[in-house]
Amino acid sequence: MRIAEICRKTNETEITLSLNLDGKGEAQISTACGFLDHMLELFTKHAHFDLSIVCHGDTHVDYHHTVEDVAICLGKAFSDSLGDKRGIARYADKIIPMDEALILVAVDISGRDHLGYALDIPSYRVGDFDTELCEEFFKAFVREAKLTLHIRQFSGTNSHHIIEGAFKAFGRTLAEAVKIDPCFSDEIPSTKGVI
């Protein structure tokens, strides 16, 4: 089983997180940010990962530290759970519709961190969630997971739908990229012999 557990405590947040890449899509998420909880539940369901997160953060300030630090922990857990990445597909992409929104996510589990982010979210907030934090989440995840991630919006006018489409596509894409290819299960998917 490809499982990782992360505990992280700072002056801004205290987080415990566990991730199972070979799960059933079960989520137990409690971050005190309802919209983030919803997006992570969608991500988990569509990735078929099991994800448990408890975060106590300085939400009396805003959600920035909570969102960023949860993504840091998730990215680290993702990287740790893959080990040497032997046998994984490595590359994947998905295009996901969410009503009027159409979102592409593509990934290369490359060992190099890069985010290509092109979501045009029309409103500043969804509920009490600052929509600019969506980009901050993906930046922090990519930095810790050490992978290349591209997120592109082809259409969309509803901010909730755009972000939801991104998280669903993110989950489906990562699920595909971490699948073990039975024909190459003992190989590192790189000519370098290491990722």
Query: pLDDT (tens digit, 9 = 90+) per residue, 153-173?
Result: 999 999 999 999 999 999 999
Cβ neighbours of residue 70 under 8 Å, at least 6 residues apart?
A: 13, 15, 17, 31, 36, 40, 53, 55, 137
Q: In this predicted model, what pLDDT tens digit does every residue of 103-155 receive, in sequence order?
A: 999 999 999 999 999 999 999 999 999 999 999 999 999 999 999 999 999 99
Q: What is the pLDDT of residue 181?
A: 87
pLDDT per residue as tens digits for the range 1-37: 899 999 999 999 999 999 999 999 999 999 999 999 9
- Please indicate, yes or no, if residue 192 is contained in any of the structural domains: no
CB 35 within 8 A of CB 129: yes
Bridge pairing between strands 50-57 and 13-20: antiparallel
DSSP designation for 182: G
In-domain check, residue 135: yes
Q: Locate 5 and state its tokens.
A: 């557990």
Query: Which CATH number does the domain housing residue 78 bear?
Result: 3.30.230.40
Query: Structural domain of residue 33, as residue ranges?
Result: 3-184
pLDDT in tens, 43-94: 999 999 999 999 999 999 999 999 999 999 999 999 999 999 999 999 999 9
Question: Following CA atoms 56, 147, 83, 136 in sequence, which dihedral angle do they give, to the nearest 10 degrees?
Answer: 0
Report yes or no on 195 lying in a domain: no
Does 155 map to a domain? yes
Q: Is residue 189 part of a domain?
A: no
Residue 29 lies in a domain: yes
Report H helices in 24-132. 34-47, 64-82
Residue with the two structure tokens 């596509």: 169
Does residue 194 form part of some domain?
no
pLDDT at 175: 98
Kindly state whether residue 49 falls inside one of the protein's structural domains: yes
Looking at residue 15, its pLDDT comes to 98
The whole-number pLDDT of residue 178 equals 98
Q: Report the number of distinct structural domains present in the chain.
A: 1
Measured distance CA(167)–CA(161) in Å, rounded? 10
Cα 63 from Cα 130, distance rounded (Å): 8
